[in-house]
Homo-oligomer: A and B are copies of this chain.
Amino acid sequence: MQPPLSADSTLPVPPRAFDPEAVHRLLNPYSVAVIGASDDSEKFGGRAIEYLVKFGFPGIIVPVNPRVASVRGIRAYPSVSQCPHAIDVALIAAPVNHVLPALNECSQAGVRACVVITAQFAEIGEEGERRQDEIVRVAHRHGMRLLGPNCLGYVNMHARTAATATLALSSMTRLRAGGIGLVSQSGALMGSLIAVGDEAGVRFSSCVSVGNQCDLETADFVHYLAQDPTTRVICLYVEGLAAPDRFLEAVDRARAHGKRVLMVKAGRTQSGAVAVKSHTASLAGSYPALQAVCEAHGVLLLDDIFDMLLVAECLNRHGRLRGDGIAMFSSSGGAGASLVDALADRDIRVATLHAQTTHALASTLPQTHRQLPIDFGVARVNTRGETADDTIPRVLATVMSDSDVAAGVVVLTTGTMMESMARGCVEVGNACAKPLLWVNTSGRAGASAQAIIEQGGQLTCRSPQEAVRTIACLVTDFRRAAIAEPVAQETLELDEALAELSPGVLNEGETKRLLAAAGVPVTRESLARNEHDAARIAGKIGFPVVLKVQAPGVSHKSDVGGVALDLGSEGGVRTAYRRIVQELVRRTGTQPDGCLVQEMVAAEAEIIVGTKWDAQFGAMILVGSGGILVELLGDVRLAPAPVAAHTALAMLRSLKLAALLTGYRGKAGIDLDAVAAVVARISQLAAHMGPRLLELDANPLIVTRDRVVVADARAVLGR
């Protein structure tokens, strides 16, 4: 299967059983020790203490520093072991050579978990890996859990616990708590997400930076947050997945608890993967396979971390959209029209207001302006003693309650009613069961309006484009097909077919016998060893026939003149056989095994079906437009195997060129159900064989008026 899958690997983390109790205690500690605590906020240990105090950590703070008696007025201890309290969490930001001794001491003192902020571990290569192995061994020996190393700790907003030194909290005076659980492989990006999110109106439950994931990893936190009552939506920034199986198990648990999981994967492009690799030594894995798996498990995969936050907060506050019509509001006709254009670029439609909505707008808006985008600039104010503070919330509420409106966007341009718009947006946005995004395009001229929005906790985007991307993600999520239920894997009787095959590349005949054994229809054909043989077989199959050379090492048969089509007579078959052999000898100097004599099938349509064993996610099945368009347009769909026939059907229907299959301009459609059934069977073959079938291409799968049949195929067997 040529298209987008690539070789892959996983991170070397020992899979451990999930232990939600340990994660709970880590994120909700009764006591936190800070190794290297100080009064100096420029230092890690100083900032950590500052945050614990500033945000009102309700438990016991234990500064550890042999050189001082107290930090910020709190009694300090020379070492963890000399402290009388039981320590739930110790925060270590010591120089790299001091980490192991500190961990040793912590484990001996019965500390339950350590957060290792110090870097220079596995991310810097072999020396660091050895160092990391050592700290893992110490921790495991004593049953102590580790977060990090090379992380920035965590913040539990609800528990007022900031076990971190991220500068993102430096400008905040309090932790505003909400329903978004964040797990980030990058500490710096966790900081950015907290800082940018807080200003945008995103409210977190807990944020965790997992760093090198030497012990606790992303999946452990997803598994925990799945049942954490303060978390409703889980956001993940991932560079490489430590253990795909654990990840999917955790993700399924979140789904079972009715929680959405959103994820951004760095290194999703080829050049991004190179950058990630040099950064954390995480191997990126195959992004198309990840996409397919996420779709199958209900994980919403996004391209941008800030989009992820805004989408998550919308889902947190209002759940999935209940439609795809959007309402736009501005005090400028130009801003409204520009927003409509930007949404239309992404196939998102303007909601159509119902007659009663339009009617209700009559008291405020002139006849010509009672439709979307709403232009507050023409609203009647200062009549009947009303001001913009009266009319704007009324218009917003009226339009947002229209059943065709699924979400709204308010764009602030400079003007006299900026603060009224902000107040209206807060009032209606908080009362309304649908997302209402705010965008300030007035810069500092809109500062006081913006302050009203932030104080009101309204969700705010930094630009119209950001609002458009957020809406686009929500609409895509709404339009997405229901998540397919997993399909039972069938037991196939392949022993006989497999007995004759050895690892390596299978030729067309071998691949088709394997397919046939799995119940996949293939062209009638037989291998001829000489021209007489070929003529006889052709007579039995019925004319016209096709001849295809079969020779060791020849996989692109037409490149060596090894294919003859549409042969209508025995004489024609003989001549073609001779020519093919001559041509092969001339070009390669070798004799062929023979020629495959094959029925000639007239195609109504051609499709490509493939399988691939993905190192992270196992057997995958691919369908695509046939012929050369598959490569020119990359028009393929991927799913984890096996798939049910109805899932295969949905994949086929979602191809860009699906119209070529479903009927177009008077041309009748093909029997897609029959195609889907064949795709499902091939997916069962892939699932059954597991890593023994590295890849298989059925290309083309030919659809005629009354049959679906594999016309050419090749495969690669593993051991």
Contacts and interface: CB of A to CB of B under 8 A. Distances in A.
Contact of A267 (B337, B342, B413, B443): B337
Interface residues of A, number: 97
A37 B175 CA distance: 48
Nearest to A447: B171
A188 interface: yes
A199 B416 contact: no
A239 interface: yes
Given A189-B413, A332-B189, A337-B266, A443 B279 contact: no
A542 interface: no
A349 B271 contact: yes
Contacts of A418: 167
B188 A415 contact: yes
Contacts of A482: none
A181 interface: no
Contacts of A39: none
Nearest to A463: B462
A237 interface: yes
A191 B445 contact: yes
Contacts of A186: 332-335
Contacts of A167: 414-416, 418, 442, 445
Contacts of A377: 188
A418 B279 CA distance: 20
B342 A304 contact: yes
A331 interface: yes
A124 interface: yes
Given A239-B334, A344-B270, A345-B269, A188 B413 contact: yes
A123 to B, nearest CB: 8
Given A334-B186, A337-B267, A195 B369 contact: no
A contact face: mostly helix, strand, loop, or mixed: helix
A664 B337 contact: no
Interface in A633-667: 633, 656-657, 659-660, 664-666
* Copies per complex of this chain: 2
B188 A340 contact: no
A136 interface: no
Contacts of A444: 171, 195, 199
A368 B415 contact: no
A42 B417 CA distance: 11
Contacts of A463: 306, 462-463, 466
Contacts of A212: none
Contacts of A434: none
Contacts of A292: none
A275 B465 contact: no
A95 to B, nearest CB: 13
Contacts of A171: 443-445, 447
Given A340-B275, A341-B269, A341-B272, A335 B125 contact: no
A683 interface: no
A411 to B, nearest CB: 9
A336 to B, nearest CB: 6
Contacts of A401: none
A369 to B, nearest CB: 7
Interface string A321-358: 00000000011111111101111110001100000000
A276 B656 CA distance: 31
A632 interface: yes
Contacts of A246: none
Nearest to A441: B192
A188 B463 CA distance: 15
B304 A465 contact: yes
B341 A266 contact: yes
Contacts of A413: 188-189, 191-192
A368 B125 contact: yes
Contact of A443 (B195, B628, B659): B195
A433 interface: no
A110 to B, nearest CB: 33
Nearest to A344: B269
Contacts of A307: 465
A410 to B, nearest CB: 14
A539 interface: no
Contact of A278 (B274, B275, B304, B371): B371
Contacts of A166: 414
A375 B373 CA distance: 44
A366 B127 CA distance: 14
Given A167-B415, A191-B415, 15 more contacts: A167-B414, A171-B447, A188-B332, A189-B334, A192-B332, A192-B441, A195-B446, A266-B337, A266-B341, A269-B340, A270-B344, A275-B336, A275-B337, A278-B333, A303-B341
13 contacts: A167-B442, A171-B444, A187-B332, A188-B331, A189-B332, A189-B334, A191-B413, A196-B443, A199-B444, A267-B341, A268-B341, A275-B337, A279-B333
The 5 A-B pairs of least Cβ separation, nearest first, read A279-B333, A186-B334, A188-B332, A195-B443, A191-B414
